Chains A and B, each alone.
Chain A
């Protein structure tokens, strides 16, 4: 029975067409990911050599004045890409993966962007996640829309029912072959991706694979549901394509629009103005007031005192510090807004598998907004460490060559992925269950 059904399945033109298209797009999407990772890797390598060169030139130019040297010196902090980012590029092409900061006011530097062609960002990436979320459903629809209706239209269904065996069984067998085929193609895709992108086989990769399989299963459930509405092939095709259009193209756009408009992040503008003003105001205010604030933040430096007359680096760096310290309220308001955006997105997404899958994949691949915020926070910490290392040396007017500059190599940011499979897939599983359950229930009289 199975062999016959498989033969019949493999003889259809759609299968070859679907397979061909998938292979072509797989090659394209994997090479997109590879190219992305390679470019990032090359940039990281450049950053390392550039930083060394930069330190060498600057230290030779300003060797007598550490305060001035550190006004110019930039230190790199790199968000090391997970190879899974080649599968789900997510937001990692929009956001800068490399921070290049001086120990001055951080808030004026932290949000500087990388140089990316906005047209490319706008068109979006044809990465593996796009292939799975966007195009696999179409293949599934093409393979399944006339599973039952074709037999009815050709008159073969009656012959099956009068043969006495369970016709439901027959339908499930037909469906199972298609599920197996698509699962196998997806498996091949992941194997190819693993080798081309050098992805280690770990929990994250496994989670990503499981999420993808669940998503594929969701589309089979949708097809199963529509097939059992027992409409004509044409109607099935239209219903399925419309649901694809709504679920994959339209709803995500609508949800994003809703989230963006519900929480516009104007605080970013307010914050950026504030951090500038607060630093610059200090040039015109009493030095003691600035220094008092600085020493409240860093009591360990209070011993350096206040020098009322003329310029000193101590005072200068204290002023710079105030730009960060006194824009704290605005900054927190901005982060709160971003957090609200994320929460709302996640809340809505869990009920819509395409959205959920995209967000889950980005989370697993560390290419989500959450991860970017983590990176920004880690940058703050990185920056603070640098300040604490250099502040006392500057305040004591140490020489530039008392510092071991070789030690200052770019630092890689690594973080743990926090991803809960059950939390992320619960609603998707529930939706799949409801779709299959309700259609079996409705059609129970046909199946024995």
Chain B
């Protein structure tokens, strides 16, 4: 195998393709769209970021502005968390449009995350989201297929393949050269996209714990691998096909099957096999579980009555009114602890059923490099399923701490004589509101993301090796004419 010949063929293919009439037009359109997407995506991100920050502050301000109050009133006053987006969502917005943006956190009640972009949009949103990853994952592969389908077949049809062969170029060299050439042409398209990824990561570097540079680096490497695989496959199919028409047809079917039909079908099938509970059933399951263990709202509940008796005994008193702490605060803190544990286990079950639904498309990653790059791109852009699940569990953790903070205040400062949270008698000073820490959202670490996406990363590597192997293997049994 001679390096020179490969380079020569690559150079020739690049020149020939790059200077075709249509390519410049196509490239300019592509770049124009890229610029548009980057600018609008960036603006939208900043606008959202700004809105989230503004509303987060205004929500916190109204929290802190509360006068002296009964702590349980504050526990129900609650706090809002508006979901922050990672700057890399400009590159790949993943499932962002479908995940809730605001969640209300209050005592003994787990609310859903609401106001996803999709819930406020018309049916058009289901066609997909406009972002750089759309260009890279759906459009560019098609462009590569269009540019490369006739790479070998045209040479066959013109009879030039014979000439190249008799002049001493081996089939392996021709295939590799053409793949390299095609890859170089695709570089002209995908490098600008990666450039805009990097401009995002340099300019939005101030994001707290975003680890944006390392994320961008991993994304970049993955896409380069993906395009190498894609270019090799295009050339292989062009080599295997009898004529250009057939090559184009095969490549288009591959695109349709691998990029559109398989991903959708996998999700439908996953959902059919592993249906998840509806909200009504989910809530009923939690209520049933709570009723089994004891309901703190029920004055005759055996579990909570025995708890009361043991507390009375431990403190050597006969009436809860004589306890050294506020009994109803204590009761609520126990109730909160119990319901939060039950909620957590039910919620884990729910997330688990979602994971099962996703598992089919997750396993198909092995057979479909598109799914692999899609998952990698999404998770390193922090817009994937795991990131969202982590957001939800972080908010629940904060909700629990906030409620217990209030219950503790009640136990410490509210008299046992208090009958209701109404009025200005049984109150706690407002300085306590300020000392409740704010919600601090943390993205999943890059290490964790890598381990989540190990299968996808491995798939890309295996596919790369496989295509190269097939290339050298098919070179042995190749029909030149």
Which A residues form the contact surface with B (CB < 8 A)? Answer: 25, 28, 31-32, 35, 39, 43, 46-47, 50, 53-54, 57, 61, 76, 90-91, 94-96, 98, 100, 108, 111-126, 130, 134-135, 138, 233-234, 237-238, 241, 245, 249-250, 252-261, 264-266, 268-270, 272-273, 276-277, 280, 283-284, 310-311, 338, 341-342, 345-346, 349, 355, 358-359, 362, 367-369, 372
Q: B317 on the interface (CB 8 Å rule)? A: no
Interface residues of B in 73-113 (CB under 8 A from A): 73, 76-78, 80, 82, 94-95, 97-102, 104, 111-113
Q: Is there an interface contact between B122 and A112, defined as CB atoms closer than 8 Å?
A: no
Q: Is the CB of B77 within 8 A of A119?
A: no
Contact of B123 among A57, A61, A118, A367 (CB under 8 A): A367
Of B221-229, B267-275, B440-448, the one touching chain A: B267-275
* Structural contact, A46 and B280, CB atoms closer than 8 A: yes
Please report which residues of chain B, range 131-163, place their CB below 8 angstroms from some CB of chain A when the two chains form the complex.
134, 138-139, 142, 146
Determine if B275 and A253 form an interchain contact, defined as CB atoms under 8 angstroms apart.
no
Which B residues are in CB contact (< 8 Å) with A358? 123-124, 126-127
Q: How far is the CA of A125 from the CA of B267 in the complex (A)?
A: 9
| CA gap between A253 and B138 in the complex, in Å | 12
Determine the chain A residues whose CB is within 8 A of the CB of B125 once the complex forms. 256, 260
User: Once the chains bind, are A369 and B114 in contact (CB under 8 Å)?
Assistant: no
Given contact pairs A98-B280, A124-B264, A367-B123, A260 touches B117 in the complex (Cβ within 8 A):
yes
Q: With A119-B357, A237-B248 given, is the CB distance from A253 to B264 under 8 Å?
A: no
User: Contact at B44–A234, with CB atoms within 8 Å?
Assistant: no
- Chain A residue at minimal CB-CB distance from B80: A273
A238→B43 CA distance, assembly (Å): 34
Residues from chain B with a CB closer than 8 A to the CB of A28 are 265, 268
A112 and B111 in contact, given A50-B281, A256-B121, A280-B77 (Cβ under 8 angstroms): yes
Q: Which of A125, A245, A345 contacts B139 (CB 8 A)?
A: A245
Q: Which 8 A-B pairs have the closest CB atoms?
A: A252-B127, A257-B130, A121-B98, A256-B124, A311-B422, A269-B55, A43-B278, A123-B267
Q: Please indicate the chain B residues that have their CB under 8 angstroms from the CB of A123 in the complex.
A: 263-264, 267, 361
Chain B residues near A31 (CB, 8 Å)? 272
Kindly list chain A residues whose C-beta atoms are within 8 Å of the C-beta of B69: 283-284
Interface of chain B, main secondary structure: helix
- Does B118 lie at the interface of the complex (its beta carbon under 8 Å from any beta carbon of A)? yes
Q: Considering the complex, give the chain B residue whose CB is closest to the CB of A34.
A: B272
B280–A234 CB distance below 8 A = no
User: Is the Cβ of B123 less than 8 Å from the Cβ of A91?
Assistant: yes
* Interface flag for B261 (CB, 8 Å): yes
Contact between chains at A117 and B357 (CB < 8 Å) = yes
Q: Nearest CB to that of A72 among chain B residues?
A: B297
A115 x B276 contact (CB < 8 A) = yes
**CA distance in complex: A122, B281 (Å):** 24
Listed in ascending order, the chain B residues whose CB lies under 8 Å from chain A are 37, 40, 43-44, 47-48, 51-52, 55, 58-59, 62, 66-67, 69, 73, 76-78, 80, 82, 94-95, 97-102, 104, 111-130, 134, 138-139, 142, 146, 244-245, 248, 252, 256, 260-261, 263-265, 267-268, 270-272, 275-284, 287, 291, 295, 297-298, 350, 354, 357-358, 361, 385, 388, 420-423
Expressed in whole angstroms, the Cα–Cα distance for A122 and B101 within the complex equals 15
Chain B positions within 8 Å of A100 at CB level: 279-280, 283
- From the candidates B80, B275, B280, name the one contacting A47 in the complex (CB within 8 A): B280
Which one of A120, A257, A276 contacts B78 once the chains associate, using CB atoms below 8 Å? Answer: A276
Which B residues lie within 8 Å of A238 (CB)?
146
Which among B76, B245, B291, B385 is the interface contact of A233 at CB below 8 angstroms? B245
Provide the bound-state CA to CA distance between A361 and B99, in Å: 25
| Nearest-Cβ distance from residue B256 to partner chain A, whole angstroms | 7
Q: With A98-B279, A261-B44, A276-B78 given, is the CB distance from A118 to B127 under 8 Å?
A: no
Sample (27) of A-B pairs whose CB atoms are under 8 Å apart: A28-B268, A32-B268, A94-B116, A96-B279, A98-B280, A117-B271, A119-B354, A120-B270, A126-B265, A138-B256, A234-B248, A237-B248, A253-B134, A256-B121, A259-B124, A261-B47, A264-B51, A268-B101, A269-B51, A269-B102, A272-B102, A310-B420, A349-B124, A355-B124, A358-B123, A358-B126, A369-B122
Q: A125-B264, A269-B101, A368-B122 are in contact. List 17 more A-B contacts (CB 8 A).
A: A35-B271, A43-B278, A117-B358, A118-B99, A119-B361, A119-B385, A120-B270, A122-B98, A123-B267, A126-B264, A130-B264, A259-B122, A280-B66, A311-B422, A358-B124, A362-B123, A372-B119
Q: How far is the CA of A74 from the CA of B111 in the complex (A)?
A: 15
Residue of A nearest to B37 (CB): A257
The minimal Cβ–Cβ distance linking B22 to chain A, given in whole angstroms, is: 8
Q: Are B280 and A50 in contact (CB under 8 A)?
A: yes
* Given A253-B127, A266-B51, A119:B422 Cβ within 8 A: no
Distance, CA A39 to CA B94, complexed state (A): 26
CB distance from B276 to the nearest CB of A (A): 6
B350 close to A113 (CB less than 8 A): no
Report chain A residues within 8 Å CB of B122.
Answer: 91, 256, 259, 341-342, 345-346, 359, 362, 368-369
Residues of chain B within 8 A of A98, CB atoms compared: 278-280
Q: Please, which residues of chain A bring their CB within 8 A of the CB of B385? A: 118-119
User: A273, B59: Cβ atoms under 8 Å?
Assistant: yes
Query: Knowing A264-B44, A272-B80, A358-B124 touch, does A95 contact B119 (C-beta < 8 A)?
Result: yes
- Tell me whether B423 and A310 are in contact (CB under 8 A): yes
B244 contact set on A, CB distance < 8 A: 234
